[in-house]
Structure 1
Amino acid sequence: MAEKAVPTVVLVHGAFADAASWSGVIAELQGDGIPVVAPPNPLRGLASDAAYVASVAAQIDGPVVLVGHSYGGAVITVAGTTGNVVGLVYVAAYVLEEGESLGELQDRFPGSPLGANLKQATYPVEGGDPAVELTIAPEAFPEVFAADVPGDVTRVLAVAQRPLAAAAFTEKASAAAWKTKPSWALVAAADQAINPDVERFGAKRAGATVLEVDGGSHAVAVSRPKDVADLIREAVRATSA
């Protein structure tokens, strides 16, 4: 019997970050010969972002494991219904139910320091009024997003962050791929951007295999790339077997 192909890992970043946030994880996976792609997440809305990630996955020859950080978890929940996606990995992420929004999931639990430290700006929308986008106030970024990352790194990350369209918080997930695909979840136990209980709840509801990282900040992929890569490796092994 022929061996199944090793899945390609598609790393989907979340809000206030970019694909470079996966650099340490990419190095770990490439060191094991695991094919990996880290596309830009547009951060303009759940349906459109998921459609983009789904199109990236669908154009890959062979099976795909989708990995989503933070808001990227909501994106892969929808995009994961793509036919060649064989597994989902959530990293300090939102794991939505079909018909649920980020805001609705968050509101089940006490808020995190993120909400009080968001800055609003606007961006142009063709044919319509300007829309609102959000970033983290730079002075709050280290504590809220990356408390276990060295200060010189967080100062760079704070000014390089990519904004999220505010509408993404209220847009409802059109599907929940974890209902038909196996899932894994890393809970960042010291997360100050997403209440860790939000991560735990979503992971449990999805029946995910869970790894909890004590002291892990929201930027756990930056601070603990080996831990994140180890969970992804587990997903790759399980979906290759």
Structure 2
Amino acid sequence: MSTTPTVLLVHGAFADAGSWSGVVAELQHDGIPVVAPPNPLRGLASDAAYIASVAAQIKGPVVLVGHSYGGALISVAGTVDNVVGLVYVAAYVTEKGESLGELQGRFPLSPLVGSLREGTYPVEGAQPAVEFTIKPEAFPEIFAADVPAEVTKVLAVSQRPLAAGAFTEAASAAAWRAKPSWALVAGADQAINPEVQRFGAERAGATVVELAGASHAVAVSRPKEVADLIREAVRATG
């Protein structure tokens, strides 16, 4: 008898695990086990190591799902033995040795780049490090244009910042080279150029679904469609 994989949902920058709420509800309705841990957002290597440790502690097979920056993390963390599939949601799909900056630098920059607000955070024994959030006034258009205004107001002030160093760290692995993958491209994404998403997905040989008009916050605005792709991955790997 096949074992239903546990779905491990990895959120990206400027968001938290709550951004998966609609997707979690969809999967739980179908009896699919799901976990949505916090993503530290402090650096590619350390964040991927954390996600890998969460996956390794789950009994049975795991399907990793990464949104946005979370896609780069599952490409590395997906090398864990019990990970059986990868799902990228409006995400970076990085190659081994490639940084986020190098990947997105192949294509015209998205409006996100000009809408970031710089801050700092303390580092023990070193100078403060730089982190980024999206300017609150730009957040609705950049991140969640198809989400109701009353929801984006909350999301804009509850962002979790991403360490600037995460953009320049090179990925240490590309799990999609050995494991099956699926990808959802958000057709109206203003945070990650859809061309970046398409390129990475095609390079990985992923099964691709594109949602026209979908913003970067596609898991919030269209949870059923996101869950449908995850269900497909669970069926294929279970």
1:71 paired residue number: 69
Structure 2 counterpart of 1:178, which letter? W
**Could you report, residue by residue, the CA deviation over 1:42-66 in whole angstroms, capped at 9, with x for unpaired residues?**
0000000000000000000000000
**TM-score, structure 2 as length reference:** 1.00
Q: How does 1:74-85 map to 2 (within 5 A)?
A: 74-85=72-83
Q: Does 1:29 align with 2:27?
A: yes
Please report how far the alpha carbon of residue 212 of structure 1 lies from its aligned counterpart in structure 2 after TM superposition: 0.2
Structure 2 residue identity aligned to 1:42? P
Does structure 1 residue 157 correspond to structure 2 residue 155? Answer: yes
Matches for 1:184-223 after TM superposition, within 5 Å:
184-223=182-221
Question: What is the rounded CA distance, in whole Å, between the counterparts of 2:80 and 2:117 in structure 1?
Answer: 34
| Distance apart, 1:138 and its partner CA | 0.2
Post-superposition CA distance 1:116-162 (Å, at most 9, x none): 00000000001111000000000000000000000000000000010
Partner of 2:59: 61
Letter in 2 for 1:154: T
- Determine the C-alpha separation between the residues in 1 that align with 2:75 and 2:200: 11
How far apart in 1 are the matches of 2:125 and 2:6? Answer: 38
Size of the aligned set, in residue pairs, is: 238
The residue that corresponds to 2:126 in the other structure is 128
SS in 2 for 1:44: coil
Q: Does 1:18 align with 2:16?
A: yes
TM-score, normalisation: structure 1: 0.99
Paired residue for 2:84, among 86, 91, 105?
86
Q: Secondary structure in 2 aligned to 1:124? A: strand
Structure 1 residue matching 2:120: 3-state secondary structure: strand
In structure 2, what is the Cα distance between the partners aligned to 1:10 and 1:36? 6
Aligned position for 1:46: 44
Could you list the runs of 5+ residues in structure 2 that have no partner in the other structure? none
Deviation at 1:193, TM superposition (A): 0.2
Q: How does 1:165-176 map to 2 (within 5 A)?
A: 165-176=163-174
Distance 1:57 1:6 in 2: 15
Equivalent residue number for residue 99 of structure 1: 97
Provide structure 1 residue ranges, at least 5 long, that are not aligned to the other structure.
none
Query: SS where residue 59 of structure 2 aligns?
Result: coil
Distance 1:171 1:105 in 2: 12
CA-based RMSD of the aligned residues comes to 0.3
What amino acid is aligned across from residue 47 of structure 2 in structure 1? D
- Give CA-to-partner distance per residue, 1:96-131, whole Å, 9 cap, x none: 000000000000000100000000000000111100
- 2:170 match: secondary structure: coil
Amino acid in structure 2 at the alignment position of 1:230: D
CA distance in 2, matches of 1:179, 1:4: 24
1:21 and 1:161 mapped to 2: Cα distance? 11
The one-letter amino acid of 1:131's match is: A
Looking at structure 1, the residues matched to 37 and 50 of structure 2 have their Cα atoms a distance apart, in angstroms, of 9
The one of 180, 183, 191 aligned to 2:181:
183
1:60-110, Cα deviation, whole Å (9 max, x unpaired)? 000000000000000000000000000000000000000000000000000
Which amino acid in structure 2 is aligned with residue 8 of structure 1? Answer: T
The residue identity in structure 1 corresponding to 2:164 is: A
1:7 is matched with 5
Look up the SS of the partner of 1:156 in the other structure: helix
Secondary structure of the residue aligned to 1:133 is strand
Match of 1:228 among 221, 226, 229: 226
TM-fit CA distance, 1:4: 1.5
